[in-house]
Amino acid sequence: MNVTVVGAGYVGLVTAACLAELGHRVVGVDHDQARVVLLQAGGVPIYEPGLDELVQRNQAAGRLRFTTSMAQGVDHAEVLFIAVGTPPQEDGSADLQHVLAVARQIGQHLQRPLVVVNKSTVPVGTGAAVADTIRQGLVARGHEALDFTVVSNPEFLKEGAAIEDFMRPDRIVIGVPPGAAGARARECMSQLYAPFNRHHERTVWMDVPSAELTKYAANAMLATRISFMNEMALLADQVGADIDAVRRGIGSDRRIGHSFLYAGTGYGGSCFPKDTRALMHTAMEQGTPMRVVSAVEAVNRAQKRQLVKRVVQLMGEDLSGRRFAVWGLSFKPNTNDMREAPSRVVIRELLERGADVAAFDPVATTEARRVLAEDLASTPALLQRLHVGDAAEGVLQGADALLILTEWKCFHSPDFARMRALMRDPLILDGRNLYDPQVLQSLGVTYLGIGRRNALGVARLGLTAPMPVAASELRAA
Ligand SMILES: NC(=O)c1ccc[n+]([C@@H]2O[C@H](COP(=O)([O-])OP(=O)(O)OC[C@H]3O[C@@H](n4cnc5c(N)ncnc54)[C@H](O)[C@@H]3O)[C@@H](O)[C@H]2O)c1
């Protein structure tokens, strides 16, 4: 099939490369010229495991090419995917300008029947708005009889495992409009996704508004699990329980399951924060406020500050002269995506309190340097006290504490003896609960996780009370 994918970002590029791998002839369109030039030269603008190989293989086979020209993209397509960004606006609503810009261009260039597939995450009603926009373009050109259908096919891939998720989806949600045009679009989508349904039917068919809402409901549910566990972890700290034991205890209940039950420094990324806010905005507009989702969002905002709160409890409000090492900058492992990453909140607050910060990430270094420089552009004095290093051990030198913010594999089994030798004080505040508190205690490392019987770490600091601990107590110790 001739497929065009508009938007060559995390979702669009993966969609284009995977559909090409299945044998379709795919054109990827992006309005970012530098991005397209890089792709045409065989480069890949994002870090996603296995993606560069997949892109290069399909380019070499002649099944995948890239252009900035929407005219070429529309001309090529039997099926056209919209996979452009829908960033949050000030009021939390999804900014649809990119989606509607693509719709306008389809209206300007369409010459023959087309199925338009909206893969961007968009509020209910966007499918209809896209159809209206295309229709207006056709009317303006006197082509109103041209047949096109807009379907909704939200994407559920996870950055870091995007290819696997796309190629072996749990389910494919497709919303089609009613009537004959919807039936034809359904036939077309069935054909396109047939390889995924060979073993068993994975497609969940529905109407367009339900498909649009399904995406928000899925992300809100996953975010809810995370915030729920983060709140439970705070309580575990206070009562001397281990949240990891609790996680295993409840995850083994089949009604609950193991996924998305990890307490940590809060969720980030390009999806959960913006999608929960957009959902709340839609709900407010409809007069049905989402109280659960509001609480989930508020808990997450507070959770991103939790580690620094602990640092302050231990060392006082003023961190001048203190030096902190940070491991992990991307919002999760196996991606260089820094959007809404907890590291941005943590690093800014440490710097604002006067500390020096030396940070390391195995993949996101370049992106982190760019994003953090942007975050701190209006406060150059803070930026001067930040160093993004190229080696995990390098940033530990002379540190008063190490904060772990992303659970990269390379952080799972470090040389603790060497860490102790490098750091001024062997104190680890682990925002991802990578280590066993008892083991670290036996190695002479003071360890505070999230809901991990922090009484153990506190005891090593010579204190008796569980967290929270007053800074004065630490100094006394
Ligand atoms: N990133 C994820 O993990 C993920 C997962 C599921 C769904 N989504 C959703 O998919 C959509 C895309 O997300 P993303 O992370 O891939 O975004 P992204 O920012 O990585 O990529 C978007 C791309 O679209 C291009 N673009 C924007 N307007 C354009 C236009 N008018 N014409 C051509 N190109 C244009 C941009 O240059 C950019 O390369 C969003 O709605 C997002 O919420 C993202």
Chunk the chain into consecutive blocks of 10 residues (it has 477) and report each block's average pLDDT, rounded to whole numbers.
Answer: 97 98 97 98 95 97 98 98 97 97 98 97 97 98 96 96 95 96 96 92 97 98 98 92 96 97 96 96 96 97 95 94 98 96 98 98 97 97 97 97 98 96 95 93 92 67 45 35
**Exposure string over 91-116, b if 16+ CB within 10 A, otherwise e:** ebbbebebbbbbbebbbebbeeebbb
Which of 18, 188, 271, 410 is flagged as catalytic? Answer: 271
Atom nearest to 156 CA in ligand 1: 6
Distance separating alpha carbons of residues 448 and 412, to the nearest angstrom: 15
Of the candidates 72, 89, 71, 185, the one whose C-alpha atom is nearest the C-alpha of residue 137 is 71
Cα–Cα separations (whole angstroms), residue 71 to 67, 102, 109, 414: 10, 11, 6, 53
How many angstroms separate the alpha carbon of residue 24 from the centre of ligand 1? Answer: 21
The reported pLDDT for the residue numbered 467 is 47
Cα–Cα separations (whole angstroms), residue 218 to 41, 97, 173, 189, 272: 37, 24, 11, 22, 10
Verify whether residue 271 is a known catalytic residue. yes
How many angstroms separate the alpha carbon of residue 121 from the centre of ligand 1? Answer: 9
Residue ID of nearest Cα to ligand 1 atom 44:
11
How many angstroms separate the alpha carbon of residue 70 from the centre of ligand 1? Answer: 16
- The full set of domains in the chain, from first to last, is 2-206 (3.40.50.720), 216-301 (1.10.1040.10), 304-476 (3.40.50.720)
Helices assigned H by DSSP within 141-266: 162-167, 179-192, 208-239, 243-251
Residue ID of nearest Cα to ligand 1 atom 37:
32
Pocket test for ligand 1, best of 4, 10, 38, 332 (most atoms within 8 A of CB): 10
Cα–Cα separations (whole angstroms), residue 317 to 97, 273, 309, 422: 43, 28, 9, 25
Distance separating alpha carbons of residues 237 and 218, to the nearest angstrom: 29
The reported pLDDT for the residue numbered 456 is 55
Q: In what order do the strands lie in the sheet with 446-448?
A: 386-388, 356-360, 323-327, 401-404, 427-430, 446-448
Token pair recorded at residue 367: 């992106």
DSSP string over 284-352: HHTT---HHHHHHHHHHHHHTTHHHHHHHHHH-S--TT-EEEEE--SSSTT----TT-HHHHHHHHHHH
The reported pLDDT for the residue numbered 462 is 53
Identify whether the C-beta of residue 449 lies closer than 8 Å to the C-beta of residue 441.
Answer: no
Is cis: bond before 468, omega within 30 of 0? yes
For the beta carbon of residue 302, count every other beta carbon within 10 angstroms.
15
Of the candidates 397, 226, 403, 245, the one whose C-alpha atom is nearest the C-alpha of residue 312 is 403
Residue ID of nearest Cα to ligand 1 atom 20:
9
Residue ID of nearest Cα to ligand 1 atom 4:
11
How many angstroms separate the alpha carbon of residue 120 from the centre of ligand 1? Answer: 7
Which conformational region is residue 437 in: left (phi greater than 0), alpha (psi within -120 to 50 degrees), or beta?
alpha
